């Protein structure tokens, strides 16, 4: 459809020389002599190339009806990436080339913004920032955060970036997806803080609360079964069905189990018995644990949350298999108090 220069707006789509562009900037100029004109800066939807054009007010342009939709990444098969349209909940397949450089930062359940033209996805935009975990890096230089220099590291999306020398494997960082540059180290939200938030919700009769800190959004929402945690910007942790119990139990467990205490998960996430795949488990069946001792880790929103025992006693059962999803309030360990 043809439009006049006076109808042109920032963000509008145009067809120029057979290519799709959208307007990023425009300036109306009225010279002292001669007729007025508009200086327009355009960005190619497919190549990101920038084009500058000058149009007289009498000229007309070909409008491209662009629609923006939020979609959530679900899974990949070969070079086909599946996304769920957040407005229609339909499955949309997007070819790998359309993701461009953003594919390096694609995370499970990530929400992206797509641009639709004639019912076809023509561009995918990942969030400007993501929170990611370092999975490969040389050891960090502890206590020297002012030291200049960078080193290569790999984050959990598979992308390789440059990080400061003091950043080590397992740390959580913020990354600018537009440049691939390290922004800052992200402070983890510990279990105590999460418990304080839950108390706040109960005291004020809140059904839902959303907190943003250091670029990370945390959303807690009460449900019939408990509290569901999610992070809509970076990583969504869905309410997963409780796994079938595949327990490791002590053969000498007491017959009278009424006095036993449960160590329960304070959040929805993934259960890990050790700090890393190569490391030993925090605790074993038959081992005595002290109050405040770390017994496992629950990963939620790409954050590793240490779970500490609130009772002194002997571990008589590990109720969850390593790497399994856990629900809020689900029993992780059974302890015989001492």
CATH of the domain at 143: 2.40.50.140
For residues 284 and 331, state if they share a domain.
yes
Domain boundary among 103, 125, 147: 125
Concatenated DSSP letters of 285-324: TT-EE-TT-EEEEEEETTEEEEEE-SS-EEEEEE-S-TT-
Asked if residue 118 is part of any domain, the answer here is yes
Number of domains making up the chain? 4
Residues 6 or more apart in contact with residue 169 via CB below 8 angstroms: 134, 135, 136, 137, 139, 140, 153
The reported pLDDT for the residue numbered 147 is 55
Q: Which of 96, 125, 154 is the last residue in one of the domains? A: 125
pLDDT (0 to 100) of residue 91: 92
* Residues 6+ positions from 132 with CB-CB distance below 8 Å: 105, 107, 155, 156, 157, 172, 173, 174, 175, 302
Find the domain containing 133 and state its range. 129-185
Q: What string of pLDDT tens digits covers the 338 residues of the chain?
A: 788 888 888 888 899 888 899 888 888 888 878 788 889 999 888 888 899 988 888 888 898 888 889 999 999 998 899 999 988 889 999 999 889 889 999 998 899 999 999 888 989 999 999 999 999 988 766 555 555 688 999 999 999 999 998 888 888 999 999 899 999 988 766 667 777 777 877 777 777 777 666 555 666 766 544 444 444 333 333 333 333 444 445 444 444 567 899 999 887 788 989 887 778 899 999 999 998 899 999 887 666 788 999 899 999 999 998 888 888 888 999 999 98
The CATH number of the domain holding residue 27 is: 2.30.30.30
CATH number at residue 254: 2.40.50.100
Same domain, 52 and 117: no
Domain assignment present for residue 23? The answer is yes
> In this predicted structure, what is the pLDDT of residue 214?
54
Question: What is the structure's pLDDT at 92?
Answer: 93
pLDDT at 244: 41
> What pLDDT is attached to residue 254?
44
Based on the domain organization, do 60 and 38 belong to the same domain?
yes
pLDDT at residue 282, as a whole number? 93
Is the pTM higher than 0.75? The answer reads no
Domain boundary among 125, 141, 176: 125
In a domain, 114, yes or no: yes
């Amino acid at each position: 459809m043809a439009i006049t220069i006076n109808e042109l707006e920032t963000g509008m789509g145009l067809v120029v020389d057979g290519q799709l562009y959208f307007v990023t900037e425009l300036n109306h100029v009225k010279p002292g002599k001669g007729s007025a004109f508009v200086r327009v800066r355009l960005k190619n939807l497919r190549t990101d190339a920038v084009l500058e054009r000058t149009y007289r007010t009498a000229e007309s342009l070909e409008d491209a009806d662009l629609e923006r939709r939020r979609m959530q990444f679900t899974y990949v098969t070969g070079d086909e990436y599946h996304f769920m349209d957040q407005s229609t909940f339909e499955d949309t397949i997007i070819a790998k080339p359309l993701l461009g450089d953003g594919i390096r930062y694609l995370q499970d359940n990530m929400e992206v913004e797509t641009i639709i033209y004639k019912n076809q996805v023509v561009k995918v935009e990942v969030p400007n920032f993501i929170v990611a975990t370092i999975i490969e890096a040389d050891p960090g230089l502890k206590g020297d955060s002012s030291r200049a220099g960078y080193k290569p590291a790999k984050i959990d999306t598979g992308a390789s970036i440059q990080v400061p020398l003091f950043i080590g494997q397992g740390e959580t960082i913020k990354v600018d997806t537009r440049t691939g540059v390290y922004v800052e180290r992200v402070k983890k939200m510990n279990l105590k803080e999460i418990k304080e938030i839950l108390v706040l919700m109960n005291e004020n009769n809140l059904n839902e609360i959303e907190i943003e800190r250091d670029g990370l959004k945390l959303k807690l929402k009460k449900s019939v079964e408990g509290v569901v945690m999610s992070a809509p910007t970076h990583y969504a942790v869905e309410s997963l069905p409780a796994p079938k119990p595949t327990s490791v139990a002590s053969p000498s467990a007491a017959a009278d189990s009424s006095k036993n205490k449960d160590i329960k998960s304070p959040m929805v996430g993934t259960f890990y018995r050790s700090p890393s795949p190569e490391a030993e488990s925090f605790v074993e069946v038959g081992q005595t644990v002290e109050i405040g001792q770390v017994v496992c880790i629950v990963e939620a929103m790409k954050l590793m949350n240490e779970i500490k025992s609130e009772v002194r006693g002997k571990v008589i059962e590990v109720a969850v298999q390593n790497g399994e999803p856990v629900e809020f309030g689900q029993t992780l360990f059974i302890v015989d108090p001492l």
